[in-house]
Amino acid sequence: MKLLSAKQFQEWDAYTICHEPISSIELMERAALLCTETIARYFSIDQVIKVFCAKGNNGGDGLAIARLLIGRGYEVSVYVLEQGKIGSNDFQANLHRLHSFTTEIHFIQSAEAFPIVQETDLLIDALYGTGLKSELIELPKALVEFLNLSGAQIISIDIPSGMYVDQSSNGNTIIKANTTFSFQALKLCFLAAENAPHFGNVVLLNIQLQPGFLKTVASDYDLLEKEKVRLLVKPRNDFSHKGKFGHALLIAGSIGKMGAAILSARAAMRSGIGMLTISIPTNTDAEIHTAIPEAMVLNRETSVVDFDKFSTIGIGPGIGTDLDSETVLENIIEHFKKPILLDADAITILSKHPDWLSRISSDSILTPHPKEFDRLFGESANEFKRWQKAVQLSEQHQLIILVKGHHTLIAAKGKAWFNSTGNVGLAKAGSGDTLSGIITSLLAQGYASTVAAILGVYLHGLAADLALGFQSTESLLASDIIECIGMAFNDLANYEN
């Protein structure tokens, strides 16, 4: 699914109005009806509701919702932010309609006109929507701060007032909504952790915008969808043998951190690789052979590695950042000319030697979390800037760059995708090691690097979601994710639209 800009969302409305055809106020009514039905599903008729509107189309939505709620018997008061300008045409039309239903319409011209709000009230934020172009100041800012301090439950319509759709809102005064009713498609702002304190639970309402519009526009970012990701999985020939599914070298673990090597290796084996060799420190063979007997081992400190034997190399989980590990990584960058995966300590080492970056084989995959990303590529002012930088650098260096998070970004040669699977149970030690193993396995099997990254990230999150069938987000372990990788593959294979 394309993640659209604020301007494109407005164009989608206009496209629907033209091609359905439908009037703009009828489209507004459709959206308001869905909001009203959702509110009525969760709030009893004795709920006191206060609706706050500015004079744009978002405010028009609020007026229509107020009217429909009153028609269902709710006690509703409406508060219009009055700044001396006439409202949009649809706002004015809905204001005229509302006057036939209630006299509880109040105009806020100063902070002295702010209403008394009880903690038991339900507040509807319909002040500003996707068209917001500048941060809130003066009276609008004061009103938002007042509502945030009220202690009442807040529902924002389409987007919390004060938040931008497609750029950072850091420093803005923004409504802190418990729930956001957003229309038609997920917005980029809802994928940013920096915005999470403001949008609460996002409920997508399908207002039946014309799907043909999406074919007419390009987008900087896409959201991964199961029906497309499932098509990336290669079918397996019944007569295949292990040699057909690749042989990876996994360089992982150090004294005290062999768990990283074990988790990564087990994830790689569960993801379909034919053969796996793990490069480990001296005197750690028994740990590997006991935990994962399917894998082979070689001594990282004494063995001479024949790189020609391997389809790919994954390096980083738990290896440490000492001089020996630096030497190993430099040797791989210098002599191995197929795509590799670099994670964790390998990225930290790379950040100390930024000149190595240009020498890494093209189509290699880097999997940093935000702090590792910033160490390697420099500080970013906010998440949106970090995403943009990842996309630019992926094209500049011909690499695939992940920025790990709740919605991991996969940037590849100037294009980008956000993941749609996973849960907060992944915020635990070992999760990144399992992801490295999955992606290394897919690379070894011959998946193109971009596909390996997309499929690996999606499967990793999906396995974590499926694990919640027998674990909680608190109890979820990285090893639970590994045990559910097979379920994730089956879930993709059995998915039907």
2-219 carries CATH number 3.30.420.40:
no
Predicted pLDDT of residue 221: 97
Ramachandran class of 170: left when φ > 0, alpha when ψ lies in -120 to 50, beta otherwise: beta
Angle at 234 between CA 274 and CA 238, to 5 degrees: 65
First-last CA distance in the chain: 14
Domain boundaries, the chain: 2-219, 226-493
Residue 334: per-residue pLDDT: 96
Beta pairing class for 275-280 and 296-299: parallel
Q: Which two tokens stand for residue 245?
A: 């599914």
Same fold, 2-219 and 226-493: no
Question: For position 374, what pLDDT does the model report?
Answer: 97
Note whether 409 and 464 are within 8 A (CB): no
Residue 497 has a pLDDT of: 67
- Looking at residue 285, what is its pLDDT? 93
What pLDDT, on the 0 to 100 scale, is given for residue 496? 80
Topology (CATH) of 226-493: UDP-N-acetylmuramoyl-L-alanine:D-glutamate ligase (3.40.1190)
Residue at token pair 């593959």: 489
What string of pLDDT tens digits covers the 497 residues of the chain?
999 999 999 999 999 999 999 999 999 999 999 999 999 999 999 999 999 999 999 999 999 999 999 999 999 999 999 988 999 999 999 999 999 999 999 999 999 999 999 999 999 999 999 999 999 999 999 999 999 999 999 999 999 999 999 999 999 999 999 999 999 999 999 999 999 999 999 999 999 999 999 999 999 999 999 999 999 999 999 999 999 999 999 999 999 999 999 999 999 999 999 999 999 999 999 999 999 999 999 999 999 899 999 999 999 999 999 999 999 999 999 999 999 999 999 999 999 999 999 999 999 999 999 999 999 999 999 999 999 999 999 999 999 999 999 999 999 989 999 999 999 999 999 999 999 999 999 999 999 999 999 999 999 999 999 999 999 999 999 999 999 999 999 999 998 86
Distances (CA, A) of 468 to 420, 422, 463, 473, 477: 16, 10, 9, 7, 11
> What pLDDT does residue 433 have?
98
